[in-house]
Amino acid sequence: MTTYDDQLALPSGLSDGPRQPLGIFARPRNANGFVDWLTTVDHKKIGIMYGAASLFFLIIGGVAALLIRIQLATPNNTFLSGDAYNRIFTMHGTVMVFLVVMPMGAAFANFLMPLQVGARDVAFPRINAFSFWVFFAGGLMLNTSWFIGGGAPNGGWFNYAPNNGVAFSPAAGIDFWNIGLLITGIGSLTGSINLITTVLNMRAPGMTLMKMPIFVWMTLVTQFLLLFAIPVLTVAQVLLAADRLFGANFFNVELGADPLLWQHLFWIFGHPEVYLMILPAFGIVSEVIPTFARKPIFGYPFMVFSGVAIGFMGWGVWAHHMFVSGIGPLSVTAFSVATMFIAVPTGVKILNWLATMWGGKLILNTAMLFSIGLVTQFTIGGLSGVSHAIAPSDTQQTDTYYIVAHFHYVLFGGALFGFVAGFYFWWPKAFGYRLGERLGKWNFWTMVLGFNLTFGPMHILGLQGMPRRMQTYDPAMGFGLWNMVASWGSFILALGILMLLVNVVQSHLAWRRAGRPNVGADPWDGRTIEWSIQSPAPSHNFDVDPAVTSLDDFWHRKYQPDETGKLRRIHTGDEIAQPGDPTGVHLPAPSYWPIVLAMSMPIVGYALIFNLWLMIPGVLLMTLSLWGWALEPADDLDPHDDDGAGQGDSASPDGGDGATAEPELETVS
Amino acid sequence: MTDTAAREMPLEPENELQDDVAVVDDHGSDIAGHDDHEGHHSSLGLSNMKLAMWLFLGSECLLFGALISTYLLSKARFLTELVALNPRVLDGLRDGGMPEELIQEFIAEGSVEPIFDIPFTSGSSFILLMSSLTMVFAHKAVSEGNYRNSRVWLAATALLGSTFMAGQVYEFTIFFREGLTYGGSLFGSGFFTLTGFHGAHVTGGIIMLLSLLVLSFRGKLQSNRAETVELVGLYWHFVDIVWVLIFTIVYLIP
């Protein structure tokens, strides 16, 4: 079985032949192409896969959105049946929340956070790969419901009880929603543990908490929100699965159950969820704006603590989703006040971004434009959000298009604009070339126009009383004009998204035609240490541990005050960037087990839905891969091997401190 | 641009940094780039695994919190409807085969207590709590390098845990025979889900303990890996503490 040497693959070719845990899979070595991506444990590749998967699901969710807008463009339209409409809006919401915005945040957290804290990888590289694959497996499983099991889920992304029970939703669609998201939740949970450990424990020497870039802070808050929110959703989903599949009665009103339990559990998860979707985008623009305003972020501690405050207060506002569910005046008042309060730290952030830009030498490139787009559009969404906090007003707005307008302004105009800003900003670090600025500006202005045309009119429609989730409306209601505007807007918006994809392809081709010129380590004159390594980031990240002495450390290495106190550039970024020399660096070997373990989960899921006999292969595969994983030492300790050179991490002089990545039992928990 | 140039960045490391730099210089160039992606320096002075375990347990608190809340709600709603003689609730119990006397006792006392055998469950709870003690001994023995004792204590912990599980299986069987089925009532659903989830956690812990035992017999659980035992211990103590809560809330508080 296990031996103690050769824990980690040696890219330099020093490895001594494959080991075969369970005699099935050798640990892949020098894998390339397809296998490399399937088995990689490199956080950057995993981050890129998160990004690619989220763009893939964005297309699915986007097509669903366009179908909805076609249906609603004219009164009494018969383009979609009521049943199809229900399925499509359910899948639109579910896919966009769980399979687009969340993984896009995870993409940045995975790719960027270890670079920004100066680490070689995340704390548990194989678990990181597992987190991605299990998310992807769950997402694919959810989307197979388009084709099998009687159709996609139709209970809304919130899937309220008792409508989600067998009595009202006998088809398996709800089970796909339930089990699919249960599976993606496992990935979120392992991912959050992994990323929090990385932030807290693997910072470069000298990087104290208050010297971390804001994006790292926002990642930390986000992952804590996930860590505590996911189990609550998991419980809700387990209860629903027990009801639907094993005849329990948690939401069975006949036997006295209170279906409001679902709403409470769902929104205790669901409200932290909305913050964990927006905070990564806040982190991104907090990096982009100082870079292109040529000023440090205004009020760094306020930015940090307002993010933390949002994280805490996000737990005390869930019932504002339930003002009309009869929870009583006292609860309504308390949650109403709490919801108004949470606008304060959010407002602090807006103010600080504005103050950062104030008096700065603004460089209005695409990344900066998208960031300003977030600040502007999120403010609009935030203001309509405060109007929901006022319970009497919310009672009028509940389940109207006003709500739809609100959360698209924060999630699309906010989060997604922030992510696109991040794409433009960090693209050179990830791929070695910039995205085209010309098409980028077209991309931005098309998206701004399309976005506001689509969702701006929904405020008016909502206040006119147009209800959400209705398949059609009567011409006499007077909703026709603004719906037509919104539908046109949605196609302009889709064109904007398409421009992003075209820009990726075009910029890549142009870069290849030009002979793959080196974009340089520091194309934007950046502030944080991810710009101190080559582009694209080498697989070992840092040649030597970066020593950090201040916030915006890289900037201070480039700029020092002269005698008069004026900041002068003493180095260019490329001068002091690390050369990207991997000599002597050992990286964790890729592994088959994360993807195999992840793929066993949907089999168990299908078994629960269709036929329990499928459990046998599913559980067998799961057990096997758990054992294979456990027997494949990632970084085992070896007291007999302490001579240092060339023996992988087991040879670490302080190997006895127990700081191992994955002792063999880790997978059992 | 060389390594050296990168290290000669214009900065004054703080005191704690100078140590690190010195260590690197001592070892010369062959170790300067030595892989330290996995917590060579750990910013908190806590190993990654231990931090991860604490985070996982933090997450588990929310899981059990939600399950306990669900149980309390389910029981309360069940009793309200039962005392109000909701015919469907009564039918649900009768369909499960619950004897009429027990149903009447539930109604008369307005409580589910009549079905519990508190002395029995107290006994199995005591056994589970004692297993935390043996777990501590196991960790101590491993860290001191006393491998014979560590095997004894690991086995004892697993055995005590298994005894608790046997007790739970026995209790579930008795309850089922008395007509408390999973699908027959809201209380049954809540009770079996909550205690079943806890039982699954104990079972997971037993598997971990047995794996440790196997490792120990293969000579791979030496004192430098005491932390692995400590991690399993953290999990085990957590599961015990959760049981203290569940026992109090489900069995003791009327």
Extract the tokens encoding A19. Answer: 């080991």
In a domain, B40, yes or no: no
pLDDT at site A1:
35
User: Across the interface, do B38 and A123 touch by the CB < 8 Å criterion?
Assistant: yes
Is residue A603 within 8 Å of residue A617, measured between CB atoms?
Answer: yes
User: Across the interface, do A201 and B212 touch by the CB < 8 Å criterion?
Assistant: no
User: Across the interface, do B6 and A544 touch by the CB < 8 Å criterion?
Assistant: yes
User: Across the interface, do B38 and A545 touch by the CB < 8 Å criterion?
Assistant: no
Measured between CB atoms, does A250 come within 8 Å of chain B? yes
pLDDT at site A661:
37
In a domain, A567, yes or no: no
Residue of B5, B48, B62 with shortest CB distance to A661: B48
Other CB atoms within 10 A of residue A207 CB: 25
Residues A24 and A113 grouped into a single domain: no
User: Across the interface, do B34 and A584 touch by the CB < 8 Å criterion?
Assistant: yes
Residue A31 has pLDDT above 80, yes or no: no
User: Across the interface, do A248 and B183 touch by the CB < 8 Å criterion?
Assistant: yes
Measured between CB atoms, does A333 come within 8 Å of chain B? no
User: Across the interface, do B40 and A238 touch by the CB < 8 Å criterion?
Assistant: no
The stretch B15-25 carries a mean pLDDT of 37
Measured between CB atoms, does A643 come within 8 Å of chain B? no
pLDDT at site A459:
96
Residues A511 and A598 grouped into a single domain: no
Q: Which residues of B touch A206 (CB under 8 A)?
A: 13-14, 16-17
Residues A374 and A317 grouped into a single domain: yes
User: Across the interface, do B43 and A207 touch by the CB < 8 Å criterion?
Assistant: yes
Is residue A101 within 8 Å of residue A416, measured between CB atoms?
Answer: yes
pLDDT tens, residue by residue, A617-626: 999 999 999 9
Residues A128 and A171 grouped into a single domain: yes
Q: How many domains does chain A have?
A: 2
The stretch A646-668 carries a mean pLDDT of 35
Measured between CB atoms, does A364 come within 8 Å of chain B? no
Residues A275 and A367 grouped into a single domain: yes
DSSP state of A400: B
Q: SS3 for A173? A: helix
Is residue A409 within 8 Å of residue A378, measured between CB atoms?
Answer: yes
ipTM comes to: 0.89
**Closest residue of B to A2, CA-based?**
B220
Alpha-carbon distances of A422 from A210, A269, A287, A527, rounded to whole Å: 22, 26, 9, 15
3-state helix, strand, coil in chain B (%, to 5): 80, 0, 20
Extract the tokens encoding A667. Answer: 């997978």
Residues A608 and A660 grouped into a single domain: yes
Give every CB contact of residue A666 below 8 A, 6+ residues apart in sequence. Answer: A124, A127, A630, B49
In a domain, A132, yes or no: yes
pLDDT at site B19:
38
pLDDT tens, residue by residue, A320-351: 999 999 899 999 999 999 999 999 999 999 99
Alpha-carbon distance B152 to nearest alpha carbon in chain A (angstroms): 19
Domain region containing A637: 1-40+589-669
User: Across the interface, do B186 and A257 touch by the CB < 8 Å criterion?
Assistant: yes
pLDDT at site B221:
87
pLDDT at site B54:
97
User: Across the interface, do A545 and B20 touch by the CB < 8 Å criterion?
Assistant: yes
Among A498, A523, A548, the domain-final residue is A523
Q: Which residues of A touch B74 (CB under 8 A)?
A: 249-250, 257
Alpha-carbon distance A659 to nearest alpha carbon in chain B (angstroms): 5
Residues A73 and A170 grouped into a single domain: yes
At residue A509, φ and ψ (nearest 5 deg) are -65, -45
Measured between CB atoms, does A8 come within 8 Å of chain B? yes
User: Across the interface, do B40 and A659 touch by the CB < 8 Å criterion?
Assistant: yes
Distance separating alpha carbons of residues A101 and B124, to the nearest angstrom: 47
Domain region containing B164: 48-252
Q: Which of A7-11, A195-199, A229-233, A460-464 has the lowest mean pLDDT?
A: A7-11
Q: Which of A10-14, A263-267, A614-618, B3-7 has the lowest mean pLDDT?
A: A10-14
Q: SS3 for A511? A: helix
Among A468, A496, A523, the domain-final residue is A523
**CATH code of the domain containing A330:** 1.20.210.10
pLDDT at site B167:
97
In a domain, A583, yes or no: no
Residues A340 and A444 grouped into a single domain: yes
pLDDT tens, residue by residue, A361-411: 999 999 999 999 999 999 999 999 999 999 999 999 999 999 999 999 999
Is residue B158 within 8 Å of residue B206, measured between CB atoms?
Answer: yes
In a domain, B6, yes or no: no
**CATH code of the domain containing B198:** 1.20.120.80
In a domain, A558, yes or no: no
In a domain, A509, yes or no: yes
Residues A48 and A33 grouped into a single domain: no
Distance separating alpha carbons of residues A666 and B208, to the nearest angstrom: 9
In a domain, B5, yes or no: no
pLDDT tens, residue by residue, B205-226: 999 999 999 989 988 888 888 9
Alpha-carbon distance B118 to nearest alpha carbon in chain A (angstroms): 25
Residue A534 has pLDDT above 70, yes or no: yes
DSSP for B65-77? HHHHHHHHHHHHH
In a domain, A81, yes or no: yes
DSSP state of A467: B
On the CB side of A664, CA atoms within 13 Å amount to: 28
pLDDT tens, residue by residue, B115-132: 999 999 999 999 999 999
Residues A624 and A605 grouped into a single domain: yes
In chain B the first and final C-alpha atoms are separated, in Å, by 74
Give the A:B interface size as CB pairs under 8 Å: 268
In a domain, B59, yes or no: yes
Which sign does the torsion angle of CA B49, B54, B55, B60 carry? positive
pLDDT at site B41:
58
Residues A92 and A220 grouped into a single domain: yes
Q: Which residues of A touch B60 (CB under 8 A)?
A: 231
pLDDT band of residue A509 (cuts 50, 70, 90) is very high
Q: How many domains does chain B have?
A: 1
Residue A8 has pLDDT above 50, yes or no: no
Is residue A188 within 8 Å of residue A165, measured between CB atoms?
Answer: no
Distance separating alpha carbons of residues B254 and B252, to the nearest angstrom: 6
Is residue A99 within 8 Å of residue A142, measured between CB atoms?
Answer: yes
In a domain, A405, yes or no: yes
Other CB atoms within 10 A of residue A525 CB: 17
Is residue A632 within 8 Å of residue A591, measured between CB atoms?
Answer: yes
pLDDT tens, residue by residue, A415-433: 999 999 999 999 999 999 9
Alpha-carbon distances of B124 from A331, B118, B121, B137, B169, rounded to whole Å: 40, 10, 5, 20, 11
Residues A16 and A91 grouped into a single domain: no
In a domain, A580, yes or no: no
Residue B15 has pLDDT above 50, yes or no: no
* Residue type (1 letter), A269: F
Residue of B17, B89, B182 with shortest CB distance to A248: B182
Distance separating alpha carbons of residues A98 and A84, to the nearest angstrom: 21
Q: Which residues of B touch A227 (CB under 8 A)?
A: 55, 58-59
pLDDT tens, residue by residue, A483-492: 999 999 999 9
Q: Which residues of A touch B38 (CB under 8 A)?
A: 120-121, 123, 202, 588, 635, 649, 659-661
The stretch B7-28 carries a mean pLDDT of 38
In a domain, B42, yes or no: no
In a domain, B223, yes or no: yes
Peptide bond just before A594 cis, omega within 30 deg = no
